[in-house]
Amino acid sequence: MSDPCFRSIFKDDIFALIALKRSLGFKYGSETNMLRRIDMYFVESHLTVREISRALCEGWCRKRDHESSANHSSRISMMRVFCRYLNDIGVPAYMPPPNLASKAQKYDAHIYTAEELKRFFAAVDTSRSVPHECPYRSQIMPIFFRILYTSGMRVSELRLARVQDVNLDEGYIFVKGGKNQKDRIVPIHPSLSAKCRNLKESIHSNSSEDEFFFMQYPGRAMTLGCIYKNFRRYLEKAGIPHTGHGPRVHDFRHTYCVNLLLKWCKEGKDLMAYLPYMRTMLGHESFAETAYYLKLTVDAFPVIRRSLATSFPSVIDEVSFHGREYY
């Protein structure tokens, strides 16, 4: 049976595609939202035949006024996936050609300086709780952002961690179903384990093991919007200017990686031996994702290039971003 949110002549096909992707291990969350938009486009186009013509496809792929390159590319990509699926099951569908969308401008990650981090965390420590909206903010935010920076975790991996995932006896967080459906164990600093223990005793005395550890309030995880709104407030208090494009919360992950690589290079570590550790810590699927941070590091600290050349003679010059964001 198809999802009631889908109403076009392709509703059963869309539902089947989502079911197939999820059976293969993909979460298919944002993609499902995009498919809902495509389904609505079909409805508004009064489509009565299970066929996607060139004109129909091009109508969807046409760039909207004031639309970002990233969103335009995402819309085309989702239509291409759906058309390929239709062709595979014998339904005629015109495939959007490659390179229709202009490449999104690459974002230059903001690497926080030691002074910026000091000011930022001083601002975080001034957090006040809002009883009816965010009753635990003053207790959660100082710990949340410190773990985010010192562990290299993705924002949603941390905000969606459950009580049962935070092992305070051994000092780690178990990430379930991260990007690429990878599970992994992320160590946390002993001082932060102690803070997490105090937090658990304070706000989780009656919580089940399935409760969100960094909950906004019982039964509700902190939303990305809540985290971002507070992040912008802390940036302002810390005197760190925001350009409209960055810094971003995700830049703590970039900063963690750069500082870790910088530390290893200064200590004379063999990166060939240590990079697999970083790959595991970050939950990367391929070396190409980890190599992204190698390039980011030499761009920020050219002196490190000499150290990297010993283990990876040419890999830095070969890394290509391709407009892709590694999370």
**Mean pLDDT (whole number) for 57-66:** 91
Q: 62-66, 146-150, 158-162: which has the minimum mean pLDDT?
A: 62-66
Would 124 be classed as within a structural domain?
Answer: yes
Distance CA 107, CA 117 (A): 20
Share of the chain above pLDDT 70, in %: 82
73/118 same-domain check: no
Q: Is residue 156 part of a domain?
A: yes
Rank 19-23, 67-71, 81-85, 126-130 by mean pLDDT and report only the highest. Answer: 81-85
Predicted pLDDT at 305: 63
Read off the pLDDT of residues 3-55 as tens digits, 9 standing for 90 and up. Answer: 568 999 999 999 999 999 888 877 888 899 999 999 999 999 999 999 999 99
285 versus 250: the higher-pLDDT residue is 250
Q: What is the pLDDT of residue 270?
A: 78
Q: Is there a single domain that holds both residue 311 and residue 288? A: yes
Residues 223 and 274 in one domain: no
Least confident piece of the model among 26-30, 210-214, 311-315: 311-315
Give the per-residue pLDDT at 298.
Answer: 63
For residue 308, the model assigns a pLDDT of 61
Please report how many Cα atoms fall inside a 13 Å half-sphere around the Cα of residue 271, on the Cβ side.
Answer: 25
Distance of alpha carbon 152 from alpha carbon 287, whole angstroms = 17
The predicted pLDDT at position 323 comes to 40
Domain that holds residue 84: 11-88
Considering the domain boundaries, does residue 161 fall inside one?
A: yes
**In terms of domains, do 234 and 120 share one?**
yes
Mean pLDDT comparison of 123-132, 183-192, 196-205, 272-281, highest-scoring range: 196-205
- Interatomic CA distance for residues 110 and 28, integer angstroms: 29
| Range with lowest mean pLDDT among 1-15, 198-212, 273-287 | 273-287
Q: Read off the pLDDT band of 1 (50, 70, 90).
A: very low
pLDDT of residue 180: 60
Q: Are residues 190 and 167 in the same domain?
A: yes
Q: In angstroms, what CA-CA distances link 206 with 49, 135, 220, 243, 292?
A: 55, 16, 15, 42, 43
Sign of CA dihedral 299, 304, 306, 307: negative
CATH code: domain of residue 180: 1.10.443.10
In a domain, 326, yes or no: no
Choice between 94 and 290, residue whose per-residue pLDDT is larger: 94
Position 319 scores a pLDDT of: 42
Q: Is 140 among the domain residues?
A: yes
Whole-number pLDDT of residue 170: 95
Q: Kindly state whether residues 227 and 261 are assigned to the same domain.
A: no
Are 222 and 216 in contact by the 8 Å Cβ rule? The answer is yes
Same domain, yes or no: 163 and 72:
no
Rounded Cα gap, residues 57 and 47, in angstroms: 12
Let me know: does 9 contact 42? Beta carbons within 8 Å. yes
Q: Are 142 and 211 members of one domain? A: yes
| Averaged pLDDT of the chain | 85
Residues 122 and 83 in one domain: no
Q: Is 292 exposed, middle or buried (0-12, 13-18, 19+ CB in 10 A)?
A: buried
Q: What is the mean pLDDT of residues 225-232?
A: 93
- On whether both 70 and 137 belong to a single domain, the answer is no
How far is Cα 245 from Cα 75, in angstroms, rounded to an integer? 21
Q: Which residue has the higher pLDDT, 25 or 77?
A: 77
Residue 141: its pLDDT value, please? 96
Query: Is 5 contained in some domain?
Result: no
- Tell me the pTM: 0.70
Structure tokens at 50: 């299970």
Inform me whether the pLDDT recorded for 283 exceeds 60: yes
| Domain-terminating residue out of 20, 53, 88 | 88
pLDDT, mean of residues 234-247: 89
Quote the pLDDT of residue 302.
63
Total tally of structural domains belonging to the chain: 3
CB atoms within 10 A of CB 272: 10
* Domain final residue, candidates 238, 270, 303: 238
Alpha helix stretches (DSSP H) within the chain: 11-23, 30-44, 54-61, 69-88, 114-124, 137-151, 155-159, 190-203, 224-238, 251-266, 271-282, 287-300, 305-311, 315-318
Split at pLDDT 50, 70, 90, the class of 159 is very high
Provide the sign of the torsion angle of the four alpha carbons 181, 182, 185, 186, taken in this order: negative
Task: Answer yes or no: do 84 and 125 share one domain.
Answer: no
CA distance 221 to 228: 14
Q: How far apart are CA 94 and CA 57, in angstroms?
A: 7
The answer to whether residues 228 and 274 belong to one domain is no
1 occurs within a structural domain: no
Does 152 fall in a domain? Answer: yes
CA distance 57 to 75: 11
